[in-house]
Structure 1
C-alpha cells in the first residue's frame, strides 16, 4: 500500500487528503504541516513548514513516501519540485521555472502572448510616475495586479480616478519599485477550470467551478481568499468548456514547452466568459481553495491511479458524478479579512448532519473542541439535485448552529438564479 505526502495547511489539503484515502492503493496520508482538524483515521500531520524544502525532502525520505502532492503555491514557487526530483522522489507539480506562471504576472502575460490566448489588454509598470502616466490615458474601471504571489488577494478593481490615485500612492509608498500590472477591466461570467497536466503533456479537465471572492453577500466588501464555491457550473454549455480547452489550455501548455519551461501539475485557469468569448483572468499552478472542496468529492475514479498515470506519461481519464450540485460555504473569523481574532469554537464532524462534509483550514484542538486559529476556518460542503436544495440544506444548518464564526448567505446564487429561470421557461 502507498503512502502519500501533501504539502499545505488548509481546507484544500484536507480535501486532497480525504480524496487520496479513498484510493484502494493508499493507506496513509501525511499533511505537512496540516492542522489539528485533519487528524482522523488514516490522515496524519507533520510539523514541517511549507517553505522548509530540506525538511520536506527529509520527511518524505524518512516516511518512505511513494507520492507527494503539492497543495499550496509558495513551495512550488520556491522550487520544492526541483528539490524532490533531485532527491529521486516522486512529486506532482510544476518545477520552479514553470511555477512562474503563478509567481509572476508578467511571465504569465508573456506565455499568453506566445500561446495567442485571449486576455485583457495590460501594461506593466514599476514606478509611481509610470503608473500615473498609464492611468491618465485609461477609462475606468481598471484592474491593478501586484506581480508576485499575494495568496489570492493581490488584485484590486479600481472604479474611479481618485481611487486609482489613492491606491497607487499606497502601493508605491510601501515599495517605490513595485511591479504592477494595470489591466483593462473585463466583464462577464467568471469561472475556474482545473486541468491536471501529465509529464508528456496529457491533460485531464476537472468540472468547472465558481468561487466567491468578496467577503459579504451580493459580492460586496473586500476581496478574500474565497468565501465559498460550487461545482459543476451547469449554466456553462459544453461548447464554452471546449473553447477553453482548445483556445487557452492546450495552447498554454504548448507555449510553456516552447518556452523551455514545460508544465506538469495542476493548471488553474481563472477565466471570464465575455461577449467576445472566454478570456484568461489569471493562471495559478495548484488547486484553488475553496474550489477543490467542491470538485474532488465529485470524483468517482481512483485519484492515486490518475496522478500516477499522469506522472508516468500515460494517457488517462477520470470519472465524475453528474447527478448533483456540490456547494461549499466557508466559515470565517468575524473580522476576516482585516482583523482576524483566534479562539472561536468550530463545529466538529460529529456536529454536522448526515451527508455534510467539513474540510478544516485553521483550527487547533482544545480539550474536546476545535478552536479557530486563522481567518478562513473551514469549508462546509453539501450536495443536492439542485442549487436551491443545496442552499436550503446548508443554510438551514448554519443558521440554526448559532456559530460565532461568520459566513456568506448567498454562495451559489448564480446557479440558483439560472435554475429558477430555466424551470420557469420549461
Structure 2
C-alpha cells in the first residue's frame, strides 16, 4: 500500500488529502503542516512548514513516502520539486523555473506575448515615474498587478486618475523600485481551467470552475483568496471551452517545452471570456482554492494512479462525474481580508452535515475548533444543477449558528441565467 505526502495547510490541501484517501492503493496520507480540522482516519499531520524544504525532504525519506503532491505555490517557487527529485523522491509539480509562470507575472506575460497567446495588453514598470508615463497608454479602468506572489490579493482595478495616483504613491513610498504590471481591463465572464500535466505531453483537464474573488455579495469589496466556487459550468458553451484549451492552455505548454523548461504539475489558467474570444488573465502553478474543493470530488477514478501515470508519461484512465453541480462556500473570520478576528467558534462536520467540509485556518481550543486565520473552511454540496446545489448549501449554512461570515450568492451567474 502507498503513502502520500500533501504539502500545505488549507482547505485545498484537505480536499487533496481526502481525494488521495479514496484511492484503494493509498493507506496513509501525511499533510505538512495541515491544520487541526483535518481529522480523517489514516490522515497524519506533520508539524513542518510548507517552505521548510530540507525538513520536508527528510520527512518524506523517513516516512518512505511514495508520492508528494504540492498544494500551494510558495514551495514550488522556492524549488521544492528540484530538491525532491535530486533526492530521488517522486513529486508532482513544476520545477522552480517553470513555477515562474506564477512567481513572476512579468515572466508569464513575456511568454504569452512572445507566443501570441491571447491576453490583455500589459507593461511592467519599476518606478513611480515609469508608471505615470505608462498609464497614459491605457484606457480607464485598468488593472494593477503586483509582480510577485500576493495570495490572490495582488490585483487592483483602477477606475480613474485619482485612484491611480493614490495607489502609486502608496506603493512606491513603501518600495521605490517595486515591480508593477499595468494591464488592460478585460470585459467578460471569468472562469478557471485546471490541467494536470505529466511527462511526454500527457495532459488531463478537469471540469472547469468559476471562482468568486470579491469579499461581499454582488461582487463588491476587496479581492480575497476566494470566497466560493462551483463546477462544472453549465453556461459555458463546449465550443468556447475547447477554444480556451486549444488557444490558451496547450500553446503555453508547447511554449514552455520549446524554451527548454517543460511544465509538469497543475497548470491553472484564469480565463476571461470576452466578446473577442477567451483570453488569459493569469497562470498559476497549482490548484486554486476554493476551486479544488469543488473539482476534486467530481473525480470517480483513482487520483493516485492518475498522478503516477502522468509522471510516467502514460495515458491515464480518468472518469469525472457529469450529473451534478458541486458548489462550495468559504467560511471566513469576521474582518477578513483586512483584519481577520481569530478565536471564533468553527462549526463541526456534524453541524454542517450533509455538506463536505474542508478546513483551513482552524485550531483546537478548549471550546472546540476556533478560527486561526482568514479563510477558515470551505463547505461543499452538490445537486442536479446550480440552483439546487446552491439551495442545499445555504439551507444548511443559514441554520448553523457560529461566529464566521460568508457570501450568500456563490454561483449567482449560473443561478441568474437559470431563472431567466
**Normalising TM by the smaller chain, what interval?**
over 0.9
Instruction: Indicate whether 1:255 and 2:252 are aligned.
Output: no
**Whole-Å separation in 2 of the counterparts to 1:318 and 1:418:** 30
SS at match of 2:88: coil
Deviation, structure 1 residue 352: 2.0
**Whole-Å separation in 1 of the counterparts to 2:403 and 2:150:** 28
SS at match of 2:37: helix
User: Any conservation in 2 of the 1:363–1:377 contact (CA below 8 Å)?
Assistant: yes
Q: Deviations over 1:38-90 (max 9, x none)?
A: 12201110010011000100010010000000000000000000000000000
User: Any conservation in 2 of the 1:204–1:317 contact (CA below 8 Å)?
Assistant: no
**Whole-Å separation in 2 of the counterparts to 1:14 and 1:292:** 10
**Whole-Å separation in 1 of the counterparts to 2:192 and 2:317:** 20
Pairwise CA RMSD of aligned residues?
A: 0.9
**Whole-Å separation in 1 of the counterparts to 2:303 and 2:231:** 18
Q: Give the structure 1 partner of residue 108 of structure 2.
A: 108
Deviation, structure 1 residue 368: 6.2
Equivalent residue pairs, number: 420
**Whole-Å separation in 1 of the counterparts to 2:402 and 2:385:** 26
**Whole-Å separation in 1 of the counterparts to 2:390 and 2:246:** 34
Instruction: Indicate whether 1:233 and 2:233 are aligned.
Output: yes
Q: Give the structure 2 partner of residue 80 of structure 1.
A: 80
Q: Deviations over 1:308-329 (max 9, x none)?
A: 0000011224211111110000
Q: Deviations over 1:276-333 (max 9, x none)?
A: 0000000000000000000000100110010000000112242111111100000001
Q: Give the structure 1 partner of residue 336 of structure 2.
A: 336
Q: Which moved more, 1:388-397 or 1:74-83?
A: 388-397
Deviation, structure 1 residue 244: 1.2
User: Any conservation in 2 of the 1:7–1:69 contact (CA below 8 Å)?
Assistant: yes
**Whole-Å separation in 1 of the counterparts to 2:173 and 2:261:** 34
Shift of the 6–405 alpha-carbon distance from structure 1 to 2, 3 Å rule, reads same
Q: Give the structure 1 partner of residue 300 of structure 2.
A: 300
SS at match of 1:19: helix
Aligned 1:136-147 pairs, distance under 5 A: 136-147=136-147
Aligned 1:403-418 pairs, distance under 5 A: 403-418=402-417
TM-score by length of 2: 0.99
Q: Give the structure 1 partner of residue 123 of structure 2.
A: 123
Q: Give the structure 1 partner of residue 351 of structure 2.
A: 351
**Whole-Å separation in 1 of the counterparts to 2:230 and 2:221:** 20
User: Any conservation in 1 of the 2:76–2:93 contact (CA below 8 Å)?
Assistant: yes
Q: Give the structure 2 partner of residue 279 of structure 1.
A: 279
Q: Give the structure 2 partner of residue 424 of structure 1.
A: none
Q: Give the structure 1 partner of residue 290 of structure 2.
A: 290
Deviation, structure 1 residue 114: 3.3
SS at match of 1:116: coil
Deviation, structure 1 residue 364: 0.9
User: Any conservation in 2 of the 1:201–1:264 contact (CA below 8 Å)?
Assistant: no
**Whole-Å separation in 2 of the counterparts to 1:315 and 1:114:** 30
Deviation, structure 1 residue 134: 1.0
Q: Give the structure 1 partner of residue 162 of structure 2.
A: 162
Q: Give the structure 2 partner of residue 313 of structure 1.
A: 313
Q: Which moved more, 1:128-137 or 1:375-384?
A: 128-137
Q: Which runs of 5+ in 1 are unaligned?
A: 422-426
Q: Give the structure 2 partner of residue 401 of structure 1.
A: 400
Q: Deviations over 1:354-409 (max 9, x none)?
A: 2x100001111124621110000000000011212122211122112122100000
Q: Give the structure 2 partner of residue 371 of structure 1.
A: 370
User: Any conservation in 1 of the 2:352–2:397 contact (CA below 8 Å)?
Assistant: no
SS at match of 1:350: coil
**Whole-Å separation in 2 of the counterparts to 1:174 and 1:231:** 40
**Whole-Å separation in 2 of the counterparts to 1:166 and 1:135:** 14
User: Any conservation in 2 of the 1:39–1:45 contact (CA below 8 Å)?
Assistant: no
Deviation, structure 1 residue 353: 2.4
SS at match of 1:418: helix
User: Any conservation in 2 of the 1:115–1:248 contact (CA below 8 Å)?
Assistant: no
Q: Give the structure 1 partner of residue 384 of structure 2.
A: 385
TM-score by length of 1: 0.97
Q: Which runs of 5+ in 2 are unaligned?
A: none
**Whole-Å separation in 2 of the counterparts to 1:208 and 1:63:** 35
Q: Give the structure 1 partner of residue 205 of structure 2.
A: 205
Ranges of 4+ aligned residues in structure 1 off by more than 4 Å: none
Q: Give the structure 1 partner of residue 58 of structure 2.
A: 58
Q: Deviations over 1:235-261 (max 9, x none)?
A: 001111111111111110010011111
User: Any conservation in 2 of the 1:326–1:382 contact (CA below 8 Å)?
Assistant: yes
Q: Give the structure 2 partner of residue 324 of structure 1.
A: 324
Q: Deviations over 1:1-55 (max 9, x none)?
A: 0000000010000000000000011010000000011122011100100110001
